[in-house]
Structure formats: structure tokens, C-alpha cells
Amino acid sequence: MSRRHSVNRPPTPDVRDDDEDDRPKEPTLLEIVNIKLIESGEKERLMELVRERLVECGWKDEMRALCRAFIKKNGRENVTVDDLVRAITPKGRASIPDSVKAELLQKIRTFLVSVAH
Amino acid sequence: MSMSKEDDLSSNSELLSDVFQYLLDCIIVDVASESHRIARLGLDRNLDEEEEELRLSADARARTSETCHSSEANGKYIVDIFGQTHPPIANEIFDCMNCGRSIMAGRFAPHLEKCMGKGRKARLKSTRSSTASQTNR
């Protein structure tokens, strides 16, 4: 019996021949910032802060309820993490309270400024 | 790296929202992963509708039985399924068809025992000899 994997990983990209001649691929700005966030520990702090805020305002409960409804509808043996992510992301992004969004943006802005100097 | 620090600042607003979305997506994946784990491990007690129905009806039964017990033990009145209470002794009053007196419904049977002479301690308005033959069993 073939079972769906819970998390779909994209296949490892094949090494292409032209890479050996050209310079190595440029990391995107987002990747650079992500590395700096992780190295400085700021990502961990930000994540903790946002998680706490989203629990306080009931956002997490809303998302958990959406997940449960989806699972109930589709059967709990058939659901993958990817399915759930796809199911809750639109509502999840839209229902972030403005205060939480503003607080997070402010902290990111501060971090980017500190990294740039 | 060809990007300079000034470039970081100039494309800041787009970068800002990208980072924000990225962090948000991480959190969404966390929540989805947590819900997925709970569902697949069967840790969510109420996920099955039938289970929930059974549990709710069991709870309801427990609640009504405890209300019954509490009223029998503590109060005077028992509550029925319509929420009505009835006094332990029926208190409607009517006239006895034998002797014509006003009797409370709840006291009617003992009254009839005496009134019609069928009970042990009943006495008829008759001679002592007939009373003795009736009550001697």
C-alpha cells in the first residue's frame, strides 16, 4: 500500500554543467537576512514573541479549529501537513491582527537597520 | 557578494514584507504540523463525530441522574423532563362520593379505607358485632 508522505520535500536539484563555468549562485536577499536572523538569535526571539501574541489573540485557536474541520471533513488518515498548510494559509495570513503585524514589522525593520550598519 | 549595504536599505519595504511573510509562514507550518500530529496520533478525543455523540449523551444522562438524586436527597420536589415539579402529596381537593367531605387527592386512599370500611382500622357506623366480624380476619 503506497502511503503519502506527510511532508513533501522537493527533489534535490541536479548539478547543472554550466555552474562549473559561471560563478556560484547568488543567495537571495531573503536568504542572507534569514541567515543573519538565525546567527544573531533574533529569529528565535521574534518567533517566540509572535507565537505568544498569536496565542493571546486567539489566532492560533482559530487556525487549530480550521485544521480540525479540514481533518474531520477529509478523514484523519488521509491528511498531510502540506494539505493543512495549504488549507489554512489564506485565512491565516488575512487574520493576523494589525497590532501584531505592526509590532513584528517594527522589530524586523529595526533588525534590518542594525544589520545594514 | 555584489549587493551593497545601501541596496539592503533601498529595497527595504519589499524585504520587510518578505521577511514578515516568511516568519508568518514558519508559524503557520508549525500550527499545521501540530494539528496534524494530534490528529494522526489520535490524541484528539472529539474528532470522531460518533464518539462525541456518545460522550454527549453519556454526559447528559449523568447530569439528569445527578439532578434526580440531588432532589430526592435534598429538596422536597422531583423535577421531570419538562422541568416541572410536583409536590410529593397531590394537593387537588374534591368531594368524597361516599361521605361527601372535602378530601385532598393525596389523602383520598387512606380516607376511603376509613370511609368505606375496607382498612384494618376502619369502623362502620354500625353495630359492634358486625364491625368485629369484618375486622377480624
Q: Which of B4, B31, B47 should one mutate to test binding to chain A, selecting the residue with the greatest count of A CBs within 10 A? A: B31
The residue segments making up the domain with residue A91 are: 59-96
* A15, part of any domain: no
Residue A8 domain-assigned (yes or no):
no
The answer, for A91 touching chain B at a CB cutoff of 8 Å, is no
Q: Residue B9 and residue A100: Cα distance in Å, rounded?
A: 23
Supply A40's cell numbers.
Answer: 544573531
Does residue A92 share a domain with residue A72? yes
With CA atoms as reference, report the closest residue to B98 among B81, B88, B113, B83: B113
pLDDT of residue A55: 96
Interface residue B21 vs chain A (CB under 8 A): yes
* Domain co-membership, A49 together with A63: no
pLDDT, tens digit, 9 for 90 and up, residues A55-90: 999 999 999 999 999 999 998 888 999 999 999 999
> What pLDDT is recorded for position B106?
87
Residue B118 has what pLDDT? 65
| CATH number of the structural domain spanning residue A75 | 1.10.246.140
Task: Report how many domains make up chain A.
Answer: 2
**B2 pLDDT more than 50:** no
Query: Across all residues in chain A, what is the average pLDDT?
Result: 86
Q: Are residues A84 and A106 in the same domain?
A: no
Q: Which residue in B7, B11, B27 has the most chain A C-beta atoms within 10 A of its own C-beta, making it the best mutation to test that interface?
A: B27
Does a structural domain hold residue A42? yes
Banded model confidence at residue B10, pLDDT cuts 50, 70, 90: very low
Q: Is the ipTM of this complex over 0.95?
A: no
Domain assignment of residue A50, yes or no = yes
Coil, strand or helix at B19: helix
At A75 the pLDDT is 87
Q: B117: closest CA among B129, B107, B104, B126?
A: B126
State the pLDDT at residue B39.
92
- B92 or B6, higher pLDDT: B92
CA nearest neighbour of A69 among B80, B47, B38: B47
Could you tell me which residues are beta bridge partners of residue A98?
A: none
Q: Model pTM?
A: 0.55
Whether A21 maps to a domain, the answer reads no
